Structure 1
C-alpha cells in the first residue's frame, strides 16, 4: 500500500428497517467511537455491519434482522460506501494489471463504491453488485469483529487465522510444494522415515478415510507455525494464564493490530476492526496505552469502537481526528448524534475522566461550586425528589473551559441539562448609573449570538422569547433603579418584573438564574427565622452567637434581618452585591448602621463547611414525616422551583 496515505476504508453506513436502527446514517473516519447506555443500539450497529460482511459471498441470514416496530416494511437494507482511492492510486502504476482493472471498473464517482444489501421477509436477498464484485470487495476490505468479553484470552489460536490470511500467496509453482516437502523430509530424516509416512498414508486411505485439503489460508497458517517453531503463544516466556485477563486482552489487541498492520502493508488490503468494549478488565493506564497504540495505527487500519469508558472518550478528545457518536433511544428507535470535537486547545489541558464521564449521563445539573453540590446531593432531598438520583451534578468551579468540554449544547449531545447560575452572571448592577447591564458570556442566553439570530427569524415561541428579550434589554438600558440605602432592597415593582422576565427567558434555554446567589435560595424571606433559630441553637457549632443576636435584633424589618443572615453566609444582597463599608456609610438609620457594622465582623459560614446539611437536618427534624416535602417547598420556594425545572427537562 502507499506509505503516508491516510486510509479510510468505509466512508459511510446506512441502515433501513434493521432492528431498532430505523433509517440510520453514520459517516466514518479512521477511528470511530460509539458511546451510549446499554440497550440503545450500539451493538446492533456493529453486529449488522459485520452481518453485511458475512453475507457478501454466502448467505448467513438472520431472520431477526427486521424492525419489529414497523411490520409493514417488507425488507431490511444495509448500504456501505467504500473508498477505492488507495487501490486506484496503486493501479495507476500497473495499467495492464488485470486485478487493478477490476477495481477500476468498480468505482462509481469520486473513487467510491456504494454497495447495498437487501433482505426480504421471505428470506430472499438482493445485492446492488454481482457475486464477483462482492468477492473482490470482501478481499479488499476484510472486517474483523472482536467482542472482548468472548475472546479466549488464554488461547490465541484465532490469531493464527489472521497470520494465515496475511501469509497466503499464489504462485505458478504451488503444485511443487508437496514434492519439495517430501524432498526436505527425505534429506533431513532419511528415506526410511519418509517411506514410513507413505505407508501410514496408504493404510489410512485403505480404510476409506481421507483428509480434507487445506484451503490456501490454512496451508499458510501451518507453514507459519512451523516457521515460528510452535503454535502456543507466550508473553515474556510465561504462559498466558500467568497474567490477568485484562493484561492478556491488552496484549491480544496489540498483536492483533500488529499483524493487521503487516497485512495492510504487504497486501492490497484495507482492514477494518470492530471492537466491543476494549476497556474490559484494563487498568486506566492500560486503557491509555491501548488507545495510543490504536491511534498510532489509524492511518492504516480503520477502527470502530463501542465503549462505556470515559477514559477512552477522554483520549479520543485529546488526540482528536476521531468521530465520536452518541447512540441514544427515542420512542424505541436508535438515534445517532456526532459529538463536536474540542475547538479550544486549552480544553486538552483540563479534560479528565471527570469531564468525559458526563458524556454517559442521563441528565446533568451544572453548578458553580461545592455549595450547590452539597444541596442537591442531600440524601433527604433525594428521597423527596427522585429526579435528583437520575441526574449527575457537575461542579465546574466557574471554569468555562471545563464546562465547554461536557456541556451537551457545546458537544452536540442529546442529554437533558440545566445550568444553574448566580444572577450576576446574567445582569450586573452599576451603583453609579443605577442601571442593570447584561453581563456574563455565551452561557447567558441574553448574550448568546446564536440564540439571538434564531429568535430574529423564528415564529411562535421564538417570537415570544424575542419580545421578552427586547423588553429585558429595553429595561436595562432605560430604567434607573434606586435601592433603599438602609434595607438594601429595591422598592420599585419594575425591578421584580425585570427579574421575573429574566428568569422566565433563561429557563426556556435551560439556564436557571437564582435571584441572588445559591445561598440566597437557602436563606430567604420564608426560611430566615428557622435559619436564625438554628444558628442560635445550643447544638449548633456557630461560635459568634452573642454578636449575631445583637446585630439581628437591632431592627425588626425583615429585609434588614435577611441582610444580617446573608452576610453570615457571605451571600449577595438583593442589588447583587455583598455588604460593604461603602454600603454601611450611606445608612440613615443609626441602629441599622450599627447592626451592619457588627454583622460585617461576624464569623462567617464558609462554602463546603457542611453548614447546609446541618441546617437541613435541623429543619427536617422539626417537621412531621408526612409534611416534610410540602413544608420544604414552602420554606425554599426557589430551590423547589429549580428541582421542578429538572423534573420537566428529564421527562
Structure 2
C-alpha cells in the first residue's frame, strides 16, 4: 500500500518511464549519471508544488515536446475501507471521506457510468482502489494539476508525505530536521487544544499564586511580536514538552564529539526507526528517498544500515494474516534508496527476500534513462547463502565477462593488455559456477547490462572414443533445438534463414562417426572448427561464446605458434641465472668437461636454474653464457619440430603440456580415464619427456595458475612493440583471433550503451 507507481514524461533524463508496483524496500542501482538522483528531484519537485512552493521547474528531456509531466498513483484501498466504515465518524475520517470518496465523484453520462478522480473504477468492479495525480509542466513554466481541488492535493500530501535525504548534504551536527519529519506523520487533532485552556492548566500546575503564569505570558506578549505557530510547529512543541529534552545525542554524547560517519549512520537509523514505528498505527503512509546512504561510512557500518532496517522492520511486522496482539496491520512506509554499494545490495537481497525489489537504471543510446525491474526475488537458497560482495558488484557493472576459471581472469585482467585495449578496464571478469551463473547473469535478473559468457566447447560436446562418435550433450542439443523451434517458418523462409540452416547442419553432426589421426591428437576428415563456428552462430543471440578447445587453446594457436617459440627463447635468455657461490670456477670446470658446440643441453641444465641471480662475471664468461643459452634454445626447438613435424600436432602437444586440450577434447588428466585411450602412448611418453628433460625449465610455468599466461601476454605485447609500436594492436589481433572476438564484443556492446 502507499505509493503504487510513478510515471515521468519528458523531464530531465526521463523520456517516458513508469515504475509500477513499488515494494516496501526499493533499492535503486546503476552507474553514475543514469538518472537515480533525477528520480529524487522529480519526487521533491512534485511535493513542493503540492504545497504551492515556488521552485525552478526541471528541464525538458526533449525541447520538441511542449510539456512534461509527473504522475503518482497511490493505493487508497485501506484508507477507503476505514473512512467508509459507519463506526468511524471522527473529524479526520469525515474530512478524508468528503474530500476523496464522496459520492459526487461519480459522473453519470448517457448509457454509461464514468468515474472522475479519485476513482479509477467503481469499488464494485475493482476491490483495489487507487488515486492518481498528474502534474503537468508547460514550456512557459506554468503548471496544471489533474486534481483541481487544492484540499484533495493537500490531503494526499498529508496522507502520503515525502521525505528525502541526500546523505552528502546531511547537517551531521544539527538534527532539528527530524522534528519537522515527526510533525508530518501523525493524525492527532491538536487544533482542539485551545490556548486559553492550556494557559489555565499550566497556571494551575506551576503558579505559586493563581494567575502568576498567565500574567507572565501576557507581559511577554506585550513586549514581543511573533508570527503564529503553524500546525506542524504546534505538533513539535507539544511533543517536546513531554520529552526529557530536544537536543540530540549519539551514544549518550554530544554530536560534535562523534565522527561524521557515526553521526550519519545514527541519523539514518533514527529516521528509519521513527518512520516505521510512528506510522504503524496511523493513516499516514510516508515515502522516503535516501540518496547513497553509504557515503562516509565504513563498509561494515554501511551494512548495519540495512541490518538495522531489517530488525526494525521485523519488530513491527505481523506474522499471520490476522492481527495479533502487539502486532500491526498498517502498511509500512515506502523506502527508496539509491546506492553504489555492493554490500548494501547484497544485504537487501538477503534480509528482505521477497519484500524488496531492485530497480536498475541505465542510459539508452538516446541518452534517456531506462529503468528495469530486476528479477531479484530468488528461490534458490544456495544463491542467497553464497552471494557476496563479489557477486553483488556485478549488478553495477558496465559489462560482465563470465568465465570458467582463474586462467581467464588472469588473462583479461592483465594490466598491459588493458593498456592496449582500454575497454577491458571497463568490464568485470567473473569466474563462476553454474549456480551463480544462472542467478547472476543479466538475462535472468533482467538487468540492462551487456555481457558475454565464455565457455569451453566441451561444455556442450563430447567425443565417444570407444564408439568413435562425435556427440552433443543435453546442453548442446538444447541450443540446436531452440534454434530450430524459433525458426519454424515456411519452406522458402527456412531456406534463406542462416540460423535454421546452421541448426539443421549441427543436428546432422550429432552422433556422426569420426576417425582420428594415427597419434590420436586430431580428427581425420571432420572439421571441429566448422562445428564451433556453427554453435557460436546460434549462441551469439544468448551472448555465449565457445572457445575452440579451452582458453589455453585460444592462446596457443596456429597464428601464435611462432610467437610462442620466441617466448620460450626469451624465458631462457632472461629468466635463468646462476645460483652458485663461485660461478666463474663452476663455469670453467664445466667447459672443460662439455663441448659448448655439441653439448649445450648438458651445460644449460648444470649451469642455470630458474632464478635471476646476478654475479660479477667477466665479459668473457658473460658472452659464454649467452652463447650456451642461444645454442640450447635453438637445439630444443629444432628437436621438437623434427620430432613433431606437423604444425597441428605441435599445437596439440603444447596445449596438452600447458593444461589445455586437443581438438578431440582430451587433456592429459582425462586420457587415463578414457577406456579408448585416444592419445597414443608414445605421444604421452614424449610429453612426459618434454616436461622432465628438454623443456624441464618450463615445468614451473605449466600449471593452470602458474603465471605463464601473464608472462606470455606481456612478452607478446613487448615483442610487437619492439617491431612497430603503431601496429601492436593489429599484430596482436592477428595472433589471437578468439581473444579479439571477446574484446570486440565488449567494445561494441559498451559503445552501443548496452543495447546489444
With structure 2 as the length reference, what TM-score do the two structures score?
0.77
Cα separation, 1, equivalents of 2:235 and 2:495: 69
Cα separation, 2, equivalents of 1:159 and 1:585: 76
Q: Secondary structure at the match of 1:365?
A: strand
Q: Secondary structure at the match of 1:531?
A: helix
Contact 1:163 1:224 in 2 (8 A): no
What do the CA deviations read for 1:83-128 (whole angstroms, capped 9, x no partner)?
Answer: 1122123235445622353343344333111222212222332222
Q: Secondary structure at the match of 1:15?
A: strand
Q: How does 1:168-567 map to 2 (within 5 A)?
A: 168-170=188-190, 172-180=192-200, 183-184=203-204, 187=207, 195-204=215-224, 210-295=225-310, 296-297=312-313, 299-318=331-350, 319-320=352-353, 321-330=355-364, 331-341=366-376, 342-396=378-432, 399-439=433-473, 441=475, 446-447=478-479, 453-456=485-488, 463-477=497-511, 479-486=512-519, 488-535=521-568, 537-540=572-575, 553-567=642-656
Q: Secondary structure at the match of 2:183?
A: helix
Cα separation, 1, equivalents of 2:75 and 2:557: 64
Cα separation, 1, equivalents of 2:162 and 2:293: 17
Contact 2:290 2:336 in 1 (8 A): yes
Cα separation, 1, equivalents of 2:9 and 2:677: 73
Q: Secondary structure at the match of 1:347?
A: helix
Cα separation, 1, equivalents of 2:183 and 2:146: 31
Corresponding residue for 1:5? none
Corresponding residue for 2:132? 114
Cα separation, 2, equivalents of 1:640 and 1:50: 47
Cα separation, 1, equivalents of 2:436 and 2:255: 42
Shift of 1:591: 6.3
Cα separation, 2, equivalents of 1:584 and 1:112: 70
In the alignment, does 2:716 pair up with 1:619? yes
Q: Which runs of 5+ in 1 are unaligned?
A: 1-7, 205-209
* Alpha-carbon spacing, 1:152–1:455, altered in 2? closer, same or farther (3 Å): farther
Contact 2:460 2:472 in 1 (8 A): yes
Shift of 1:338: 0.8
Q: Secondary structure at the match of 2:50?
A: coil
* Alpha-carbon spacing, 1:567–1:96, altered in 2? closer, same or farther (3 Å): closer
Contact 1:445 1:509 in 2 (8 A): no
* Alpha-carbon spacing, 1:343–1:631, altered in 2? closer, same or farther (3 Å): same
Corresponding residue for 1:164? 183
* Alpha-carbon spacing, 1:35–1:450, altered in 2? closer, same or farther (3 Å): farther
Contact 2:48 2:55 in 1 (8 A): no
Cα separation, 2, equivalents of 1:583 and 1:648: 45
Cα separation, 2, equivalents of 1:500 and 1:231: 72
Give the alignment's Cα RMSD to 1 decimal. Answer: 3.1
Shift of 1:304: 1.1
Shift of 1:508: 4.2
| Largest Rg, 1 or 2 | 2
* Alpha-carbon spacing, 1:528–1:313, altered in 2? closer, same or farther (3 Å): same
Cα separation, 2, equivalents of 1:482 and 1:622: 39
Q: Secondary structure at the match of 2:7?
A: strand
Q: Secondary structure at the match of 2:667?
A: coil
Contact 1:486 1:592 in 2 (8 A): yes
Corresponding residue for 2:108? none
Q: Secondary structure at the match of 1:504?
A: helix
2:731 to 618, 631, 643: 631
* Alpha-carbon spacing, 1:334–1:132, altered in 2? closer, same or farther (3 Å): same
In the alignment, does 2:749 pair up with 1:649? yes
Q: Which runs of 5+ in 2 are unaligned?
A: 103-117, 122-127, 318-330, 577-608, 611-631, 752-756
What do the CA deviations read for 1:494-549 (whole angstroms, capped 9, x no partner)?
Answer: 44322322233323432111110101111222333443454462444697x99987
Contact 1:567 1:600 in 2 (8 A): no
Contact 1:487 1:559 in 2 (8 A): no
* Alpha-carbon spacing, 1:644–1:272, altered in 2? closer, same or farther (3 Å): closer
Contact 2:454 2:547 in 1 (8 A): yes
1:62 to 56, 66, 84: 56
* Alpha-carbon spacing, 1:585–1:20, altered in 2? closer, same or farther (3 Å): closer
Cα separation, 2, equivalents of 1:493 and 1:164: 79
